[in-house]
Structure 1
């Protein structure tokens, strides 16, 4: 059993969400502004998070701005 499985879940809007999520702030460019230097690498990070069991990704229109939501 992985650590993310051990973290448990909680109910959010009728969905079971794992307590361990991913904060996407650093996927935006330098200083959390603009697009990432390597868009493919940013996608790879998100794909790995989901493959690891993450089903809650913290994004915000302020990161980038709008960049993390678009990724």
Structure 2
């Protein structure tokens, strides 16, 4: 993997390749890995040099939340690990507007 880094926000060095945690839960649809596989994937990504993980409290399905998997796999977090997330989501359609997610599940 490349060691190329860039300064997120001007001063936070992150690798150019990160890990997107969305599919760890099968969200919004589709298959997901079993828990042990999901934890192993997260650990391996960090072993390979990934130092930023994209997550969201939206990434949850059937009682499985990406944020909980990240905590279980990686806590205590490496000093250089950066977790990035989103705030709010615009849902389009018949009921367009801002959506606040409910608890995982």
- TM interval, shorter chain, is 0.7 to 0.9
Of Structure 1 and Structure 2, the greater strand share is in 2
Give the count of matched residue pairs.
65
Q: Where does 1:1-71 land on structure 2 (aligned, <5 Å)?
A: 2-3=1-2, 5=3, 7-12=4-9, 14-29=11-26, 31=29, 36-64=32-60, 67-71=65-69
Which residues of structure 1 form unaligned runs of 5+?
Answer: none
Secondary structure of 2:14 counterpart: strand
RMSD, matched Cα: 2.3
Which residues of structure 2 form unaligned runs of 5+?
Answer: 70-105
**1:28–1:64: 8 Å Cα contact kept in structure 2?**
yes
Deviations 1:4-63 (A, max 9, x none): x1x32314484321121000101003616xxx5510000000001000100100000001
Higher-Rg member (1/2)? 2
Greater relative contact order structure (CA < 8 Å, 6+ sep)? 1
Q: TM-score, normalised by structure 1?
A: 0.73
Of Structure 1 and Structure 2, the greater helix share is in 1
